[in-house]
């Protein structure tokens, strides 16, 4: 029963991390697209402004421009038409982003990213707190179990004792303490006699041994 509960818990964590990662990727792409759209439209607006200024300079000499500084906006039909086009383009630009659904709004997307990062930070803090409880010998035993089960699923007390140069009775004692501290080590009894040890695959997917060692050393 305990083994199944552990599997379910870490399966849920794995699903949440996968979902959060997908949301981060989607939000990142949407923000890039919004930036690209803004850049293109800003460039178009700048070109129209430059065209307006060039047309004004072509129809008015320098001295007249000094006397009438507002000619760049209102002198000549061409100037008026171009400025109106620029204004309409700006209005459309504003309307476009005013109509963006809230879930696609850049600020909303950034808030989602912040929530995801905070969730991941919270998960890291929980793991760090959990593994900080282990003594150096307990961490040695856990690391041996993690490492050995990467190579072979059939790991028992004698195997770990040989790996760590500790007695089998010491390994049993350390494993019991590790489990009591909430660290996921699963004991499976085979043929009502032999006990094998393992780390849930979902947990391994969530955190590598190197990550756990690094978090513990912080």
Over the stretch 175-196, which tens digit does the pLDDT of each residue have?
999 999 999 999 998 887 889 9
Q: What is the pLDDT of residues 28-39, one digit of tens each?
A: 677 777 767 766
Mean pLDDT to the nearest integer, 117-138: 83
pLDDT recorded at residue 117: 67
- Considering 57-66, 112-121, 208-217, the range whose residues carry the highest mean pLDDT is 208-217
Beta strands per DSSP E along 65-205: 186-190, 194-198
Tell me what the mean pLDDT of segment 111-127 comes to.
Answer: 72
Q: What's the whole-model pTM score?
A: 0.51
Q: Is pLDDT of 147 > 90?
A: yes
* Residue 36 structure tokens: 């690209």
Look at the block and give the residue holding tokens 């040989």. 162
Topology (CATH) of 133-217: Arc Repressor Mutant, subunit A (1.10.10)
Separation between Cα atoms, residue 118 and residue 217, nearest integer Å:
21
pLDDT of the residue at 193: 82
What are the residue boundaries of the structural domains of the chain, listed by start? 15-121, 133-217
Q: Give yes or no for residue 19 having a pLDDT over 90.
A: no
Looking at residue 48, its pLDDT comes to 64
- Residue that the structure tokens 């439209």 belong to: 41
Report the C-alpha gap between 168 and 14 in whole angstroms: 33
Terminal Cα-to-Cα distance of the chain (whole angstroms): 34
Q: Which two tokens stand for residue 113?
A: 């990213």
């Amino acid at each position: 029963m305990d083994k199944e509960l552990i599997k379910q818990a870490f399966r849920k964590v794995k699903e949440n991390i996968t979902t959060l990662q997908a949301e981060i990727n989607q939000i990142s792409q949407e923000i890039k697209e919004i930036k690209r759209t803004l850049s293109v439209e800003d460039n178009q607006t700048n070109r129209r402004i430059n065209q307006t200024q060039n047309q004004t300079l072509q129809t008015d000499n320098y001295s007249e421009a000094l006397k009438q500084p507002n000619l760049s906006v209102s002198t000549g039909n061409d100037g008026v038409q171009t400025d109106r086009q620029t204004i309409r383009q700006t209005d459309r630009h504003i309307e476009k982003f005013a109509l963006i659904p809230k879930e696609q709004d850049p600020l909303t997307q950034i808030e989602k990213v912040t929530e995801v990062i905070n969730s991941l930070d919270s998960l890291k803090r929980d793991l760090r707190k959990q593994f900080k409880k282990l003594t150096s010998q307990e961490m040695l035993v856990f690391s041996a179990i993690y490492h050995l089960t990467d190579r072979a699923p059939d790991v028992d007390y004698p195997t770990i004792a040989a790996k760590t140069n500790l007695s089998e009775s010491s390994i049993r004692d350390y494993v019991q303490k590790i489990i009591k501290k909430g660290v996921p080590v699963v004991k499976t009894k085979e043929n009502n006699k032999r006990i094998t040890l393992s780390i849930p695959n979902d947990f391994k997917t969530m955190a590598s041994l190197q990550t756990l060692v690094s978090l513990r050393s912080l």
